[in-house]
Amino acid sequence: MRFGIVSDTNYEAKIDQVTNSFPSRELEDWLHFKNYGDDLECICIVLICRNPEYNFKQRIRMDKKTKTLYIDLMLDYNYFVSDITQKERINVVVEKLFDEVPKIVSKYKLKDFKSELFFSDLHKFTKKNGWF
């Protein structure tokens, strides 16, 4: 299983500090040999935190050929550019991740994907690595 988090944000939102603190390499290594089923091989999360005047909309796309699910997580720009701590930024991203992504995954008819096990493992990993 592959899982990645990238961002498309305004610099002022400091989302790069959130993604840089995410232990992506360790997660990639940890998930490499795990098998949650054949219907989904990769989840790619894009953190979107742009000025609302640009009217960015959430995109969700399943590529059946590569078995990859692409999900935009929309973050509140005004909140992220306010005077908040790095820990608060991380907490919001993690909450959105564990609140929205399982709901989105469940909307797809994936007969052979153990989503509960995957999200349980992801939760354990983020907690173990101090990201939750």
What value, to the nearest 5°, has the Cα angle with vertex 57 and ends 52 and 63? 150
Q: What is the pLDDT of residues 86-128, one digit of tens each?
A: 999 999 999 999 999 999 999 998 999 999 999 999 888 888 8
**Which residue carries 């509140």 as its tokens?**
76
How much is the mean pLDDT over the chain?
A: 91
Tell me the pTM: 0.90
Q: Rounded CA gap, 57 and 53, in Å?
A: 12
Domain ranges of the chain: 2-128
- What is the β-pairing status of strands 68-74 and 60-63? antiparallel
pLDDT of residue 70: 98
Closest to 8 (Cα-Cα) out of 62, 42, 43, 59:
59
- Tens digits of residue pLDDT in 51-71: 999 999 999 999 999 999 999
Q: Would you state the pLDDT for residue 132?
A: 59
